[in-house]
Structure 1
Amino acid sequence: MVRIARPGQWAAAVREVSVAQWLADNDVPAVRALPVDQPVEVSGRPVTFWEELPAHTNGTVRDVVQLLKRLHPLPVPDFPLGDLDPFVRVSERIDAATSLTEYDRSWLRQRREELQRQWIRRPSGLPDCVVHGDAWVGNVARTARGPILLDFERVSVGPPEWDLVSTAVKLTTTGAVSPPEYAEFCALYGVDVTEREGYELLSSARELRMATYAAQHAATRPEWTKEAQYRVDCLRGRRGPRPWKWTGIM
């Protein structure tokens, strides 16, 4: 399997390959980078090479927490991962979200700035560790041998609550996860992030990422325009209280 990244993403590609090798060394079920010198550069783009996945479906909430339980206790590796940035590329997404009015985009920029200020002063929580950064069912492949972790672009060092909030917002924000599913998730991990100080900040940052992701792609995918606008309307208080019914975008 070949992955071709955006121009200027050489360091990120190197880090992803290093993370894959580190996960393999620690027996974490994850997609494996092929044992070749990589990445390579083709027409200014970093190219990486990966093992083909076996037959699979998307993972489940239970699969996600099982993999996080394998990942979070690991010691931080000796190669640079960088610190978690919950707002990485959010500004670029807003700039690209041309299906939105400038009024809405201005509000999103102000919201990002507000949340960034809060993040700097966020309350302490669980000890920092290696986090996946985008731990949801779409980044887990369910195979006959068990779940496999995918997509290491956002792997970094940060609060483990960031990985937990991706599932929590599916309960409290979008309604995509049922209360029994979420209760099992919390029981298996041993923490309910919705009960921790700072959950409002964590969930707000994740909601902003989800809304701006949809808005960015709606600029080139007209079929996503309605959903992108709906998400922004929800954040702006135009659609009543949570949970909202956000439609998944892949």
Structure 2
Amino acid sequence: MAAARAPFDRDTAYEALTAATADLPYDPADAELVRLGSYAVFRLRGLPVIARVGRSESLLPVARREVAVAEWLASAGIPAVRVLDLDLEQPIVVNGRIVTLWESASDEVEYGTPAELAELLRQLHALTPPASLDLPNLQPLGRATDRVDQADGLDEDQRGFLRDKAKELTEAYDGLEFALPIGVVHGDANVGNVFRDRNDRPLFGDLDGFAIGPREWDLLQTAMFFDRYGWHNEGEYRAFTDVYGFDMLAWPGYETLAQTKEFLMVTWMAQNAGHGDAKVDAELAKRIDSLRTGASRKDWAPF
């Protein structure tokens, strides 16, 4: 297959989706872009189908594991999005991209609550994944340097700062002592990855980050969304901690994990900067300045 073309945007991702579905009964003509990050996520409006288009073939092992995770969760009875049952193997590699097709949980995006996320995490964290799933060990900063090196929207001063920050945070993370057992984690657990289905049931989505690691990582974002950004109120956060049974804000390692996650939020955004979207470019610059100065994160906009 030909190498993926840059930039990765709605149009190039849609080209890959069109090619991937050419021999399938799924017409993407009315596909709506829902999210653009490491993946372009499309909703096929005329069909109960969600398509995820990965940036490059380097994501093939991740996409294969994501499909396997979905199948395992289905067998374990954990509410989660389901991959479409096709006559061909998923993921589909086309135009240098990775495409997977999923059952659409509902016709419109509606997210779960912090308490519902906590219940899903409580169920997930009680499981032992089969060895055949071959989940990787969680390495939060494993891809961060590559993202910094490859981001078009960074100047050299910003790039140098972020490289140094990655080294600093890696050392701090490696020195943490975790309170909860190591085990299976979602990897990107927040209410934005909990979707309501047509029966109003909350489901896990975005399964590509599953790994073996500290359970605190899955509790982190809800604490940050309350404590650092004001995206959850105190009642929502307390409902989350009551259901799960652990308060991240009372754990000594919270600040280090929070800084690590914020760094990843910056490098994730850097993937899409420098490609003509002034809002993304401005938000990225603001976030980098916040990391430099220690300024409040409450003006960070959700993306």
TM-score (norm 1): 0.91
Please state if 1:48 is matched with 2:133. Answer: no
- Structure 2 residue aligned with 1:11, among 57, 61, 82? 61
Write out the 4+ residue segments of structure 1 that deviate beyond 4 Å after TM superposition. none
- Structure 2 residue aligned with 1:73, among 114, 123, 126? 126
Could you say if the C-alpha distance between residues 96 and 187 of structure 1 is closer, same or farther in structure 2, counting changes exceeding 3 Å?
Answer: same
Please state if 1:84 is matched with 2:138. Answer: yes
1:224 corresponds in structure 2 to 280
- Structure 2 residue aligned with 1:233, among 283, 289, 295? 289
Q: Distance in 1 between matches of 2:292 and 2:212?
A: 31
Query: What is the Cα-based RMSD across aligned positions, in Å?
Result: 1.9
1:102 corresponds in structure 2 to 156
Bigger CA drift: 164-173 or 207-216? 207-216
1:146 corresponds in structure 2 to 201
Q: Distance in 2 between matches of 1:238 and 1:190?
A: 30
- Structure 1 residue aligned with 2:238, among 183, 188, 191? 183
Highest CA radius of gyration, 1 or 2? 2
Per-residue deviation, 1:44? 4.2
- Structure 2 residue aligned with 1:35, among 58, 65, 85? 85
1:42 partner letter? V
Q: Distance in 2 between matches of 1:115 and 1:155?
A: 21
Q: Deviation string for 1:11-54 (max 9, x for gaps)? A: 11211111001100111110011334333433444433322222
The answer for unaligned runs of 5 or more in structure 1 is none
Q: Deviation string for 1:129-185 (max 9, x for gaps)? A: 110101112211123331111111111000010010011111222121112211111
1:215 corresponds in structure 2 to 270
- Structure 1 residue aligned with 2:110, among 53, 57, 77? 57
> In 2, are the aligned partners of 1:171 and 1:177 still within 8 Å (CA)?
yes
2:237 partner letter? Y
Bigger CA drift: 35-44 or 145-154? 35-44
SS in 1 for 2:57: coil
Q: Distance in 2 between matches of 1:47 and 1:176?
A: 32
- Structure 1 residue aligned with 2:174, among 106, 114, 120? 120
SS in 1 for 2:104: coil
Per-residue deviation, 1:236? 1.1
Please state if 1:248 is matched with 2:302. Answer: yes
The answer for unaligned runs of 5 or more in structure 2 is 1-48
Could you say if the C-alpha distance between residues 114 and 151 of structure 1 is closer, same or farther in structure 2, counting changes exceeding 3 Å?
Answer: same
Per-residue deviation, 1:243? 5.0
TM-score (norm 2): 0.76
2:235 partner letter? P
Bigger CA drift: 59-68 or 227-236? 59-68
Q: Distance in 2 between matches of 1:248 and 1:66?
A: 24
SS in 2 for 1:157: strand
Q: Deviation string for 1:79-138 (max 9, x for gaps)? A: 201101111322233234444432222111111111112222221321111101011122
Could you say if the C-alpha distance between residues 236 and 131 of structure 1 is closer, same or farther in structure 2, counting changes exceeding 3 Å?
Answer: same
Could you say if the C-alpha distance between residues 10 and 238 of structure 1 is closer, same or farther in structure 2, counting changes exceeding 3 Å?
Answer: closer
